[in-house]
Structure 1
Amino acid sequence: MPAHAPLPAVPDPDPEAVPAAALDPLARERAHLRASRTALRAMREEVQALDIKDVTANWVNAAVLQAQIDGRIAELADLSHTPLFFGRLDFLHTTQEGQRFYIGRRHVHDGSGDPMVVDWRAPVSQAFYRASRKDPLDVRLRRRFGYTGGELTAYEDEDLTVPTEGDAYASKLLQAEIERPRVGPMRDIVATIQPEQDEIVRSSLGGTVCVQGGPGTGKTAVGLHRVAYLLYAHRERLARTGTLVIGPNRSFLHYIEQVLPALGELDVKQATVNDLVARVEVRGVDEAAAAVVKGDARLARVLRTALRSHVTLPTEPVMVVRGSRRWRIPAYELEEIVQELLDRDIRYGAARDALPQRIAHAVLIRMEAAGEAPDDRVQDAVARNPAVKAAVKSIWPPVDPARLVLRLLSDVDFLAEHAEGVLTAEEQRTILWTKPARSVRSAKWSAADAVLIDEATDLVQRTPSLGHVVLDEAQDLSPMQYRAVGRRCTTGSATVLGDLAQGTTPWATGSWREALAHLGKSDAHVEELTAGFRVPREVIAYASRLLPHMSPGLAEVRSVRESPGSLDVRRVESPGSLDEAVVGACVEALAHEGSIALIAADGRVEALGAALSAVGLAFLAPGEETTVDSRLTLVPASLAKGLEYDYVVLDDPATIVASEPDERTGLRRLYVTLTRAVSGLTVLYEDELPTQLG
């Protein structure tokens, strides 16, 4: 049998009853899989048997240690449907002479501590992803394994010592894994990571990486696997500082939520930008023009100026009474102290906290000059003196961030005073509320308002920084939203993922360099993924017809997967029968294995849902996908970004374009919906297709 052909499943002999030499290769690999599962179970039982009663000093330490043990037990879970290893490396010579390593999702060792499975993130595993015939990295043979329902059914060998023209090698198992039907949440791609993806995954923690990638290039998976790698390489540091994945909406986060747990990482938090800035209840919606202005980075300058306007230079001295002595700090000296704090440009709250200590220090200097010997306790007491506290309240009053934003959006004169030279008069009118709210609680805050409040909060008190943040679908963020995310990683790093061609918000970024500057990561390294692995070549080529009209100059994705028949564009000839034709296409798609999506303009979803129900077709909404209830999801076009389905039925592209505020945004929305299919796309329309599709 050829070395590259997957072997058929064969009866699995008992390795104890048959000498190892007599076992065929597939049977030996199955025996190693069983032995590895036994070893993993032993590792888990060893942790479960730990008795911590005599090793903790108090209940707090006991609780912390027990939580760590519980986490370790969860990490060692043996998921029967998940292959324990997916590859093998046989090395030639040098440091790994004659050694063989099985590459898997987690480390497994036997009773002697020898590795039976090596974690895919370990340095030795890097060769599995990057070795080639041109640069074998000391690897003699790379073996890939095929599984069905968790059972090892095939293997495929690549001999890296045999030169071939052009270093060409097509792995059938690799292609089968990429094309394997999916139902439910996103899977990890740990068995199919490509060399260019692996370089990004293993990039250092210290640097921020921005990944520009078109549909199907795996940018989301790369970002998630980079988190898993960083947690492996820098676990202690990131355990202290924290890691966060930010997605565009809850449906998207639900779609990706199983990837990191499948890789053994259970403690990574997930959130949307709206979750990060949720300091007030969002009940209002901005017009597009108002949202664009509120999302402009210039609003940060307006907020800063408005906040600092609350500081009043002192005109009266401070008289501190201690016992029989009085200590007077004149107004000019107080003004010098206040001006110094303003010039240092530290946060409003930090400066306010420092002011009483500065005044107290001035008093202590006078005490020492009078022959007294005050210490730090005296200074703290003076800082709490009623006269000092009254002076601080008058000079540097406390400011509530939400009230500050409320006043800016409600008070014409206050906004004009602090936006002068920053916002035009028209822009000021655009963001002013037509019906000013009386209080923070009664205000109908919008999502953009919440971001402004978050900015103001950070101006008052520093936002805690995390060790690493992953920001997905980043092209849709406003400059102020970038600043909100950047505040969460000021002392850490970030992985920024997106596609400029898929920017569908009125404030979508047109340049990664500009976006990274707003994020506070101007020195980030920008990588571009142009090789597509998920979307068939025929489908991505069809969608790419839109690129010159919406994102000229952006590189077209070149899919490595050719799939004849994957694209079907149909015109519905009978007037008024589009709904019926769409339902029929869904029925056809359900004959295939895997997940099915019906994607339509938001305004068409209700009617199509009724049409599906009328014929008894059960369907789900994005984020509700399971492996039991239904394989069909009805997806509004506005929620399609970042999601993948085996087969997609796309309803009336022209309606999707027309549903957006302008043609360019509409074409980008259409581009997103056209590129959600992994195996097949059916496009149905009644009147005309957008002319940009040809």
Structure 2
Amino acid sequence: MPAHAPVPDPADTDPLSRERAHLSASRDALRVMREDVQALDIKDVTANWVNAAVLEAQIDERIKALADLSHTPLFFGRVDYLHTTQEGQRFYIGRRHVHDVDGDPMVVDWRAPVSQPFYRASKKDPLDVALRRRFGYTAGDLTAYEDEHLSDPAEAERTSRLLQAEIERPRVGPMRDIVATIQPEQDEIVRSGLGGTVCVQGGPGTGKTAVGLHRVAYLLYAHRERLARTGTLVVGPNRSFLHYIEQVLPALGELEVKQATVDDLVAHVEVRGTDEAATAVIKGDARMAQVLRRAVRSHVTLPAEPLMVVRGSRRWRVPAYELEEIVRELLDRDIRYGAAREALPQRIAHTVLVRMEQAGEAPDDRVQDAVARNPAVKAAVKAMWPPVDPAKLVLRLLSDADFLAAHAEGVLTPDDQKRVLWQKPPRSLRTAQWSAADAVLIDEATDLVARTHSLGHVVLDEAQDLSPMQYRAVGRRCTTGSATVLGDLAQGTTPWATESWQEALFHLGKPDAVVEELTAGFRVPREVIAYASRLLPHMSPGLREVSSVRESPGSLTIREVPDLDGAVVAACEESLRHEGSIGLIAADGRIPALSEALAAAGLTWLTPGSETTLTSRLTLVPASLAKGLEYDYVVLDDPSSVVAAEPDERTGLRRLYVALTRAVSGLTVLHRSPLPAQLA
């Protein structure tokens, strides 16, 4: 039955069979679509092998995108319209578009305009929708449906049972999409335009990460050609997190979005060293950008001697004052160091050509290029505007106290300068023990020399943990594009974590971004989020508490135990009796002891980001890697140890807040030492 068929007769008494038949027909239609692409013959279509290879790769990607995943429902909803251009028409909403042999839609992509009322329509504003139907699936089979008659005033507003069940479905494996459960306030963010940057402040369980990923999928649908040229990128806090989310976009049919950490973006050198927290804070301060800019420009030397260019039997003299004017003009234009260096020989050559014309000659562009390549001109350019190696520049700044002082004067205090200087300067680039913060400085210097390639759209998740210099590094990747910034100020756990989105967006280069706040929680049970929110006044005063829509009595258990290791193992065994994933979260220093306890009890476990299996659903999670992850059941080991592991109490409380809010169905808190006073 086509998706645009008339609304069925109410007398029809077997709608579930009819919907199953439509699902079967849609799967057949998708199979035909895939077979049609596989059958394409491109032997005589392209003129050369390069075009043929490109076309073949595009066809392969299309075949992958048309794969029918048996465990993923082909459609999850339906809207029946009343009037306007869709009068009496019905559309099935799914993760991809499917059409029959005549081109009529069997399933409409969730990103299409006609699908928007499925997410936005309500009793107060039905958006011309007579009926919204949601479907329930079990192991890929359509087993239930639920109707909302939005035009019927007699039907009261109610919470969707299937929607609630989908939200609460056990979390086994990587993060999954929320395309069937997107809420109106989330949908507004997802469908916001490509031109502007959006910053989403969202507490635990508000779906901010999923919203960001679905926004990428929507933008690729609405602006595919543009983003195909310019590219998209998702930036996450660590590899475990990226592995956890990596299946969301492919499930939505988007296979070309790259993922990276900030460390990946700035990997100009091998990171083998670490900084003390106070040192990393200074290196991550935006003031370092000014120091680097001064250091780069310090390589320019104003000429003291005239330039003599010999061409054949003639000599052409460019006085020192004219060379100085050219150099000062390039400095005043404030273009990239490398671009100015490339422009300098052409400017000098142009000056020589003017003299040639004044002498009656008629030089052309080829003569100008030849003059620019003249050995005397090249030598003068090297003396006035020598090449700069960004890594060598940063090495000198961090090794040479006099060089640093000369360019940090009035920017960094003497104590700051002492803090960033290496105690034992390396002998060469090869032996340098670069830290992660040093790599960001090299990236800044690299951009001062040559412009960083800009993408069409960048998603930055867990953004609250970035330093100003890291924001600048990400911002360089979208100077001509837009960004989606996701985070929660209450979950900032780095010493340089941002305190306001306005400041963060300024450093990102997007000061005009719109800041949206998500406060409705869908993942964390009300009892759990209320308990964790006791910490908010002590670590992030002023932030609004998340209001969970899910009430789950018995979801929170707090126990003081004499044998902590034994109690943790018992709690994990108890949690494993339930369906879904289990996360054992503990302070990083407690991980070795808990590993031994689990092994002694015969329990196998996974590392964060690993895919759960039927034989292994327990993940042992260091608290430092818990951010962004979620599990059906969480066992939290000794909250006081989590707090004590951090350099200061506020950071420790934020780390604890993260750990407390990873559970979807149940949280068990076990402690031997007293709980932090803020949880009282």
Say yes or no: TM over 0.5: yes
- The corresponding residue for 1:590 is 576
Separation in 1, partners of 2:120, 2:636 = 38
Q: 1:386 aligns with which of 375, 379, 384?
A: 375
Equivalent AA in structure 1 for residue 672 of structure 2: E
Structure 1 length normalisation: TM-score? Answer: 0.96
Instruction: Give yes or no for contact 2:581–2:612 (8 Å, CA) kept in 1.
Output: no
DSSP 3-state at the match of 2:37:
helix
TM-superposed CA distance for 1:624, in Å, is: 1.8
Separation in 1, partners of 2:80, 2:286 = 54
- The corresponding residue for 1:518 is 507
- The corresponding residue for 1:480 is 469
Q: 1:423 aligns with which of 412, 422, 425?
A: 412
Judging changes above 3 Å, is the alpha-carbon distance between structure 1 residues 22 and 527 closer, same or farther for their aligned structure 2 residues? closer
Separation in 2, partners of 1:553, 1:474 = 19
1:683 aligns with 2:673: no
Q: 2:57 aligns with which of 45, 67, 70?
A: 67
Q: 1:397 aligns with which of 371, 386, 389?
A: 386
Q: 1:281 aligns with which of 270, 277, 280?
A: 270
Instruction: Give yes or no for contact 1:133–1:164 (8 Å, CA) kept in 2.
Output: no
Q: 1:25 aligns with which of 15, 21, 35?
A: 15
Unpaired runs of 5+ residues, structure 2, are 1-8
1:669 aligns with 2:658: no
DSSP 3-state at the match of 2:78:
strand
Separation in 2, partners of 1:407, 1:326 = 40
The 5 A counterparts of 1:445-524 are 445-524=434-513
Separation in 2, partners of 1:168, 1:245 = 37
Separation in 2, partners of 1:561, 1:164 = 26
DSSP 3-state at the match of 1:87:
strand
Deviations 1:255-314 (A, max 9, x none): 000000000000000000000000000000000000000000000000000110000000
DSSP 3-state at the match of 1:301:
helix
Equivalent AA in structure 2 for residue 381 of structure 1: A
Q: 1:256 aligns with which of 230, 245, 253?
A: 245
Instruction: Give yes or no for contact 1:20–1:28 (8 Å, CA) kept in 2.
Output: no
TM-superposed CA distance for 1:22, in Å, is: 6.8
- The corresponding residue for 1:15 is none
- The corresponding residue for 1:346 is 335
Separation in 2, partners of 1:354, 1:628 = 63
Deviations 1:18-41 (A, max 9, x none): x99977100000000000000000
- The corresponding residue for 2:432 is 443
- The corresponding residue for 1:361 is 350
TM-superposed CA distance for 1:182, in Å, is: 1.4
Q: 1:153 aligns with which of 143, 146, 157?
A: 143
Structure 2 length normalisation: TM-score? Answer: 0.98
TM-superposed CA distance for 1:438, in Å, is: 1.2
Separation in 1, partners of 2:608, 2:373 = 56
Equivalent AA in structure 1 for residue 375 of structure 2: P
TM-superposed CA distance for 1:627, in Å, is: 2.5
TM-superposed CA distance for 1:243, in Å, is: 0.3
Aligned-pair Cα RMSD in Å: 1.1
Deviations 1:311-351 (A, max 9, x none): 00000111100011100000000000000000000000000
Equivalent AA in structure 2 for residue 558 of structure 1: S
Q: 2:620 aligns with which of 634, 645, 660?
A: 634
Instruction: Give yes or no for contact 2:612–2:618 (8 Å, CA) kept in 1.
Output: no
Unpaired runs of 5+ residues, structure 1, are 1-18
DSSP 3-state at the match of 1:426:
helix
Separation in 1, partners of 2:58, 2:10 = 40
Separation in 2, partners of 1:22, 1:265 = 38
TM-superposed CA distance for 1:363, in Å, is: 0.1
Deviations 1:563-611 (A, max 9, x none): 0000000011x3xx11000100000100110000000000000100100
TM-superposed CA distance for 1:441, in Å, is: 1.4
Equivalent AA in structure 1 for residue 213 of structure 2: L
Instruction: Give yes or no for contact 1:625–1:633 (8 Å, CA) kept in 2.
Output: no
Deviations 1:632-677 (A, max 9, x none): 0000000000000000000000010001000000000000000000
Equivalent AA in structure 2 for residue 102 of structure 1: Y
- The corresponding residue for 2:4 is none
Separation in 2, partners of 1:44, 1:27 = 26
1:693 aligns with 2:676: no
Equivalent AA in structure 2 for residue 596 of structure 1: I
Equivalent AA in structure 2 for residue 131 of structure 1: A
TM-superposed CA distance for 1:162, in Å, is: 1.9
- The corresponding residue for 1:135 is 125
1:212 aligns with 2:201: yes
Separation in 2, partners of 1:678, 1:111 = 43
DSSP 3-state at the match of 1:598:
strand
TM-superposed CA distance for 1:168, in Å, is: 2.8
- The corresponding residue for 1:10 is none
Equivalent AA in structure 1 for residue 276 of structure 2: E
TM-superposed CA distance for 1:439, in Å, is: 1.1
The 5 A counterparts of 1:323-342 are 323-342=312-331
Separation in 2, partners of 1:417, 1:526 = 39
TM-superposed CA distance for 1:163, in Å, is: 2.5
TM-superposed CA distance for 1:629, in Å, is: 4.3
Q: 2:592 aligns with which of 596, 606, 618?
A: 606
1:79 aligns with 2:69: yes
Q: Identity rate of aligned residues, in percent?
A: 84
Equivalent AA in structure 1 for residue 544 of structure 2: A
- The corresponding residue for 1:13 is none
Equivalent AA in structure 2 for residue 77 of structure 1: A
Judging changes above 3 Å, is the alpha-carbon distance between structure 1 residues 590 and 287 closer, same or farther for their aligned structure 2 residues? same
Separation in 2, partners of 1:689, 1:139 = 52
TM-superposed CA distance for 1:400, in Å, is: 0.1
1:91 aligns with 2:81: yes
DSSP 3-state at the match of 1:440:
coil
Instruction: Give yes or no for contact 1:485–1:519 (8 Å, CA) kept in 2.
Output: yes
Equivalent residue pairs, number: 672
